[in-house]
Amino acid sequence: MQIKNQYLADLYEEISKKNSNEPEFLQTVYEVFESLVPVADKRQDLIDAGVFSRMVEPERTIIFRVSWVDDNGKVQVNRGYRVQFNSAIGPYKGGLRFHPSVNLSIMKFLGFEQTFKNSLTGLPMGGGKGGSDFDPKGKSDGEIMRFCQSFMTELAKHIGPDTDVPAGDIGVGAREIGYLFGQYKRLRNEFTGVLTGKGFSYGGSRIRPEATGYGAVYYVENLLATYGEEIKGKTFAVSGFGNVAWGTVQKLTELGGKVVTISGPDGYIYDKDGVNTPEKIAYMLEMRTSNRNRVEDYADKFGVPFFAGKKPWGEKVDVIMPCATQNEVNLD
């Protein structure tokens, strides 16, 4: 489908040629350009100043080797990324993701969107994203620690409280942030606000793990209000079982909603009574920290159906909330 502004359409074609092997990044650029058609139609000054073309080019893209030693004494090598996309209104801010799917296209996609999300907060924060194709699944605590130390040894050259402040994301929770922060302190000999998502005992914020999920629910709450509806009494299909899903389930339950699904890489569970008791919500936390990366354990513990290799979007509910990763919902 053609972007309905010739300048933006031509610019998108140019960007597509430059980034032809980055489908996720091109997808988000296309979506943003479509939304900016009314702006481009009226603001020739922005076109003349090159604002649109500058907006889609990261200020800095850092790719680096991460060598670490596994429990068998063998050297493993992964690839690390930090895309410092835009610092127009403040230091780069965005999470670190450790997952086998991580590549440059996904990092640019997420960093580009993070720029807009951060600007909407009203706080002086730019946008960035980073991570590695390292897979924490099945790794020991020692292996994860050694990987994080090697990763930070390179990343520390490029971040700082007034430069770039990473956070957690998929595969990077309080444990990993702790390892990363410890290595940063060792390298720089300073205790400073260079990472968010730290444990509360050493400078972290209360409810930080739940914050993203809470924000998603507040968004849905306000969206429903525009239709004269509310969360109370509605059923929800939630995907994922990590930090975002955990916070989402907590807040939906608190506001009177009933969550009937959570999911993982292995499939999803359907709990007709709701994932709504302290025991069930606490078990989500236990699953998240167990490093097993599967929700079938929930089905075994609470005697509910498990659907292997499937997504929960076919269940009959009032609202779906994707809380696992990007591009979870499509036209299929």
State the pLDDT at residue 203: 80
Cα gap 249→282, rounded to integer Å: 11
Residues forming beta bridges with residue 26, ordered by sequence position: none
Cα gap 232→28, rounded to integer Å: 33
Question: Phi, psi (5° rounding) for residue 207?
Answer: 55, 20
State the pLDDT at residue 325: 83
In the block, tokens 């596994």 appear at 70
Cα gap 29→67, rounded to integer Å: 33
State the pLDDT at residue 332: 64
> Binning pLDDT at 50, 70 and 90, where does residue 173 land?
confident
The predicted-structure confidence for 210-232, as pLDDT tens digits, reads as follows: 888 999 999 999 999 999 999 99
Task: Decide if 125 contacts 90 (C-beta within 8 A).
Answer: yes
In the block, tokens 């990324």 appear at 81
The predicted-structure confidence for 45-73, as pLDDT tens digits, reads as follows: 999 999 999 999 999 999 999 999 999 99
Which residues are tagged catalytic? 129
Q: What is the mean pLDDT of residues 28-42?
A: 97
For residue 284, which of 310, 309, 316, 249 has the smallest C-alpha distance? 249
The predicted-structure confidence for 125-166, as pLDDT tens digits, reads as follows: 999 999 999 999 889 999 999 999 999 999 999 999 999 999
Enumerate residues 6+ apart whose C-beta is below 8 A from 177: 167, 168, 195, 196, 197, 198, 199
pLDDT of 1 over the 80 cut: no
Count of other CB atoms within 10 angstroms of residue 13? 10
DSSP helix/strand/coil, 78? strand
Task: Decide if 34 contacts 3 (C-beta within 8 A).
Answer: yes
In the block, tokens 């990366």 appear at 293
Name the pTM for this structure: 0.84
pLDDT of 77 over the 80 cut: yes
Cα gap 193→331, rounded to integer Å: 42
Give the angle subtended at the CA of 254 by the CAs of 250 and 259, to the nearest 5°.
60
Give the angle subtended at the CA of 178 by the CAs of 173 and 181, to the nearest 5°.
120
> Binning pLDDT at 50, 70 and 90, where does residue 330 land?
confident
Task: Decide if 269 contacts 297 (C-beta within 8 A).
Answer: no
Task: Decide if 140 contacts 71 (C-beta within 8 A).
Answer: yes
Token code pair at residue 106 = 């996904």
